[in-house]
Amino acid sequence: MAKVVLGLREAYEGDLPPVCIRCGAPASVMKNWTFSNGPGGLPIIVLPYVAVVAGKIQVRLPFCGAHKHHLLRQVIGILGGSLLVGVFAMGAFAAFVERAETGRPDPPATRVLFGMLCLSALVAPLAWLGACLALHRTSVRLLRYDRRTITLGGVSERFVEALEESDRWR
């Protein structure tokens, strides 16, 4: 995937070629995205349709029908994963408390299940973090912005070519 530097005005107004920014196919929809710098300056995506405020910037980007819900898929993946991590943690805690309260020896099958539940409660956050990083690396993402330009990563090569072609005729 490539990176592209856009003028802030053209990105905010959506004055971009009608090419999907993810795959390079003809775009069928323009979507508002709001980017924000997170902790330590790490660029993160925030909810769409939020006005530009300090530390956040809203852009209007072209997407094809297959990628029009690109941001929603990321949010569902991240929130769904965090919910799953919480369920594993609560399940392991409940099993630990139940086991401690009974005080009697468990049958071997119960010990195996208890061990697997505790192990999954330890592994799930690492898997979730890896999935979040993979989602971030494979998505359209904010690399940096200033008062005049915005730099996006994870964009299609065809989008960059179409943008360069449209700039030649202006």
Which two structure tokens, joined as six digits, stand for 33?
Answer: 């995205």
**How far is CA 75 from each of CA 7, 41, 88, 166, rounded to the nearest angstrom?**
27, 20, 20, 32
Bridge partners (DSSP) of residue 6 are: 150
**156 and 9 in contact (C-beta within 8 Å)?**
no
Each residue's pLDDT expressed in tens, for the chain with a length of 170 residues: 788 998 888 888 888 999 999 999 999 999 888 776 654 444 444 444 333 344 678 889 999 999 888 877 777 888 888 888 888 888 888 877 777 777 667 777 777 877 788 888 888 888 888 888 888 788 888 888 777 888 888 899 999 999 888 865 45
CA 33/CA 15 separation, integer angstroms: 14
Whats the size of the chain, residue-wise? 170
Is the pTM here over 0.95, yes or no? no
Phi, psi for 56 (deg, rounded to 5) = -125, 150
Tokens at 52, concatenated: 């530009």
CB atoms within 10 A of CB 23: 17
Give pLDDT, residue 55.
64
pLDDT at 53: 42
How many angstroms separate the most distant Cα atoms in the chain?
Answer: 80
Domains in the chain: boundaries: 2-68+140-168, 74-132
C-alpha distance from residue 92 to each of 5, 35, 131, 158 (Å):
47, 36, 22, 48
pLDDT at site 19: 93
Q: What is the full DSSP assignment across 112-129? A: HHHHHHHHHHHHHHHHHH
Return the bridge partners of 29, or none. 63
